[in-house]
Amino acid sequence: MAAQSANRRDFLRVAAVAVAASGLGSLSDAQASQLSGVSKTISAQQDAVDLTPLHASTESPDKTPGPFDAPSERIGFAVVGLGHLSLGQILPAFGKTKHCRPVALVSGDSAKAAKIAAQYGIRESSIYDYKSYDDIRSNPDVQVTYIVLPNSMHAEYVIRGANSGKHILCEKPMATSVADCERMIAACKAANVKLMIAYRQQYEPMNRAIVKLVHDGKLGALRSIIATNAQNQGDPLQWRQKIALSGGGCLPDVGIYCLNAARFLSGEEPSEVRGTLHQPEDDPRFREVEESCSFIAKFPSGLIAACSSGYGAHKSQWMRLEGDRGWAELNPAFGYTGLKLRTSTVQDGHDVVSEPLIEAADQFAVEMDHMALCVRNNVQPHTSGEEGLQDQSIIDAIYESARTGKSVSLAAPREATRGPEPIAP
Ligand code: NAD
């Protein structure tokens, strides 16, 4: 009993810290509603399972996982598209979520879908193909459809999902044109469903820690962000190399991580971009899309981000933020696992370089749990459709700059690009 109340006290403290870290001091309606989600989570925490610690009190404390919602209380997701990301990351991540369960699949390959449905305990009657996708409307188990298709198909499947009355989680990049992003946002608004773009890094604990460092002024005024995301592409026939399906080469696929990081970590929107790209003539992989693309984004405060992305260089993923009082570095950055954070801040007049101990989280699990809590508590997702639209506008401007050889000025976004801060997992 004593252990139980200590646990509850601990959790209330953690929840209070999470709320404080979320900057929920003065509450808008949406934030207040998110806060009510926190109190629901607090009561769920009373159901947490306590285990007697295995180790001495001098060791770091054991963590009991959870609490996890019972299956009947979880938010049901339909996964649309059963390719590498769905099979390798998203479906396995459901086992690490607290609030989500896979309840339906949408695929053009019924034999593959049947095998996967059996593996994840999904009813055969909840398997759809791309034609019968709209029938998902009458499946009460499905509350969210998660769109994991080639980029140019996102718009159609988001809009059809919204018209079926389902909330939408959509992979990045949101689409392949600003016009499609706007249609997707309008369709979700008209259908009164939530739209979240799956920017997993915005829910990842080390990235969250950098957001807090910047917000708390620990790095001082940001002056520079340098970021690289590159990988060496294989099969020239895959959709990523076809402009009609991908919308571009390395920039919208992997360069978007650098762009999005520069925006959400700084909390600023760029006012000007300049881009340059390379598309070799003799490599069959790059008949339609660029191999490499670098860009510089200038922000109103004077911050400059220099980012590079590539489809021909060996895998390379890192990023550094430099302020006038310190720096923070993720190396590697952007991957699914293995991220490493180093920071340098001034303490008592000395530069202190440290590697903060931050527990890793499955990025897909925390991202899906965020969506589930937004649905349950009627809150706008942190990475809304407007966030995806803003990246798409900047990507278009980078391509325009590469074409014309001139810098392109950017208007400030018409609407806020982000919803309330996510609650720590
Ligand atoms: P993939 O090629 O492995 O899977 C795509 C799926 O779409 C396949 O099941 C394929 O059969 C299906 N499909 C339906 N119509 C198709 C068509 N006309 N052409 C090609 N495929 C078609 O791709 P993926 O790596 O799973 O990527 C899917 C989406 O997820 C993309 O938008 C991509 O940008 C995004 N993604 C995000 C991350 C991340 O870390 N968040 C990582 C990888 C991919």
In a domain? residue 386 = no
In a domain? residue 370 = no
**Each residue's pLDDT tens digit, 267-282:** 999 999 999 999 999 9
Predicted local confidence at residue 45, as pLDDT? 54
In a domain? residue 15 = yes
Query: Which ligand 1 atom is at minimum distance from the Cα of 87?
Result: 26
Co-location of 132 and 260 in the same domain: no
Range of the domain at 172: 71-198
For residue 71, the 8-state DSSP code is: G
Amino acid (one-letter) located at 183: R
Distance 253 CA to ligand 1 centre (A): 11
In a domain? residue 353 = yes
In a domain? residue 421 = no
Nearest-CA residue for ligand 1 atom 6 is: 83
- CATH number, domain with residue 208: 3.30.360.10
Predicted local confidence at residue 84, as pLDDT? 98
Q: Which of 170, 198, 226 is the last residue of a domain?
A: 198
Co-location of 126 and 90 in the same domain: yes
Co-location of 107 and 28 in the same domain: no
In a domain? residue 402 = no
Co-location of 216 and 356 in the same domain: yes
Contact at 8 Å (CB) between 305 and 268? no
Distance 252 CA to ligand 1 centre (A): 13
Co-location of 80 and 100 in the same domain: yes
- CATH number, domain with residue 128: 3.40.50.720
128 catalytic? Reply is no
Q: Which of 198, 232, 267 is the last residue of a domain?
A: 198
Work out how many domains the chain is built from and give that number: 3
172 catalytic? Reply is yes
In a domain? residue 146 = yes
List Cβ neighbours of 86 (8 Å cut-off, separation of 6 or more): 79, 148
| Token pair of 80 as six digits | 């649309």
Question: Of 109, 131, 157, 239, which is best to mutate to test ligand 1, by the most ligand atoms within 8 angstroms of its C-beta?
Answer: 239
Predicted local confidence at residue 20, as pLDDT? 32
Distance 84 CA to ligand 1 centre (A): 7
In a domain? residue 372 = no
Co-location of 175 and 208 in the same domain: no
Query: Helix crossing, 256-266 with 205-215: angle to 10°?
Result: 40
Distance 193 CA to ligand 1 centre (A): 23
Nearest-CA residue for ligand 1 atom 30 is: 148
Query: Which ligand 1 atom is at minimum distance from the Cα of 240?
Result: 2
Residue 278's Cβ-count burial label (10 Å; 0-12, 13-18, 19+) is middle
List Cβ neighbours of 60 (8 Å cut-off, separation of 6 or more): none
Nearest-CA residue for ligand 1 atom 1 is: 83
State the Rg of the chain over Cα.
22
| Token pair of 103 as six digits | 């309840």
Co-location of 186 and 249 in the same domain: no
Question: Of 80, 82, 84, which is best to mutate to test ligand 1, by the most ligand atoms within 8 angstroms of its C-beta?
Answer: 84
Co-location of 192 and 265 in the same domain: no
Question: Of 110, 171, 197, which is best to mutate to test ligand 1, by the most ligand atoms within 8 angstroms of its C-beta?
Answer: 171
Contact at 8 Å (CB) between 76 and 143? yes
Q: Which of 174, 198, 222 is the last residue of a domain?
A: 198
| Ligand 1 cavity residues, CB under 6 Å | 81-86, 108, 148-151, 171-172, 198, 200, 239, 245, 253
| Token pair of 228 as six digits | 């690289």
Amino acid (one-letter) located at 160: R
Predicted local confidence at residue 65, as pLDDT? 76
Co-location of 219 and 247 in the same domain: yes
| Token pair of 101 as six digits | 């369960």
Query: Which ligand 1 atom is at minimum distance from the Cα of 364?
Result: 41
Co-location of 208 and 192 in the same domain: no
Nearest-CA residue for ligand 1 atom 38 is: 85
Of the candidates 133, 146, 157, 257, the residue annotated as catalytic is 257
Distance 145 CA to ligand 1 centre (A): 15
Q: How far is the C-alpha of 115 from the C-alpha of 93, rounded, in Å?
A: 18
Co-location of 32 and 135 in the same domain: no
pLDDT < 70 positions in the chain: 1-47
Distance 154 CA to ligand 1 centre (A): 10
Co-location of 106 and 135 in the same domain: yes
